[in-house]
Amino acid sequence: GAVVSQHPSWVICKSGTSVKIECRSLDFQATTMFWYRQFPKQSLMLMATSNEGSKATYEQGVEKDKFLINHASLTLSTLTVTSAHPEDSSFYICSARGTAQSSYNEQFFGPGTRLTVL
Amino acid sequence: GENVEQHPSTLSVQEGDSAVIKCTYSDSASNYFPWYKQELGKRPQLIIDIRSNVGEKKDQRIAVTLNKTAKHFSLHITETQPEDSAVYFCAASRGNSGYSTLTFGKGTMLLVSP
């Protein structure tokens, strides 16, 4: 149980285009989803937290107009990188937490999306 | 906010030896401490976690200890094997609200030589 999928697994795009990444909880309802960015040989940096049906809460320094997050259902959240630039190239990972884990903060991670902006 | 420090950044051991990774946290209200293993290009995998109401937890070759007074927790891997080679992250979290977040340490690259 507690499987999280992400799509696509990798994407290459031209500078200035927008890229959408999907995160799905396959066998549980994710009341909260998290989006992280990970640069090579570095730790996971939280970008934003989204609760189903609410606006996402962004971490300091993360531009909400550039990284659009939608969490319209209990099984799907999307991250759209708008007007992507080479510096946005990174490994983007989502995680999900359901009601069963809400007493603590156990999160289940997706496989990640490797974004390369040319 | 929470701050998690993790040491060492790299750890090399011989197969069969034990490995210990240590983390400290700053927020005394933190109550959940997971450890993740991440292989190159893969997702972080939860390997063990501990909650603030216990001091130690063990799962086969892996154990975690928590000292709430000193605000530190450690991962212990015994009888290491080459497949244990990966980056290990500790994390800390407080509360149970919808906005409770995990704060990660910087990671430890564990290399187990045959």
CA dist., res. B79 & res. B93, Å (int): 29
pLDDT tens digits for B68-83? 999 999 999 999 999 9
Confidence at residue B94, expressed as pLDDT on a 0 to 100 scale: 83
Confidence at residue A2, expressed as pLDDT on a 0 to 100 scale: 83
Contacts of B93 in chain A (CB under 8 A): 104-105
A98 close contact with B: CB closer than 8 A: no
pLDDT band at A100 (very low <50, low <70, confident <90, very high): low
CA dist., res. A118 & res. A25, Å (int): 30
CA dist., res. A27 & res. A116, Å (int): 30
Confidence at residue A39, expressed as pLDDT on a 0 to 100 scale: 93
CB atoms within 10 A of CB A48: 23
Give the number of A-B residue pairs with CB atoms closer than 8 Å. Answer: 62
Whether the per-residue pLDDT at A102 is higher than 80: the answer is: no
Confidence at residue B1, expressed as pLDDT on a 0 to 100 scale: 83
Phi (first) and psi of residue B94, to 5 degrees: -125, 155
Confidence at residue A51, expressed as pLDDT on a 0 to 100 scale: 86
CA nearest to A11, candidates A88, A108, A110, A95: A88
Residues B84/B23, Cβ–Cβ less than 8 Å: no
Confidence at residue B45, expressed as pLDDT on a 0 to 100 scale: 93
Confidence at residue B99, expressed as pLDDT on a 0 to 100 scale: 63
The letter for the amino acid at B14 is: Q
Confidence at residue B89, expressed as pLDDT on a 0 to 100 scale: 97
Using CA coordinates, name the residue in chain B closest to A43.
B106
Q: Cα distance from B26 to chain A (closest Cα, Å)?
A: 17
CA dist., res. A62 & res. A70, Å (int): 15
Q: Mention every residue, 6+ apart, whose C-beta is less than 8 A from residue B95.
A: A105, B29, B31
CA dist., res. B13 & res. B61, Å (int): 15
pLDDT tens digits for A19-71? 999 999 998 888 889 999 999 989 999 999 998 888 899 999 999 999 999 98
Whether the per-residue pLDDT at B108 is higher than 80: the answer is: yes
The reply to whether residue B107 touches residue A51, judged by beta carbons under 8 angstroms, is no
pLDDT tens digits for B22-76? 999 999 989 999 999 999 989 999 999 998 888 999 999 999 999 999 999 999 9
Say which of A44, A103, A106 has its CB closest to residue B89: A44
Q: Cα distance from A104 to chain B (closest Cα, Å)?
A: 5
Q: Which residue has the tokens 């909260």?
A: A32
Residues A42/B106, Cβ–Cβ less than 8 Å: yes
pLDDT tens digits for A68-87? 999 888 899 999 999 999 99
Contacts of A5 in chain B (CB under 8 A): none
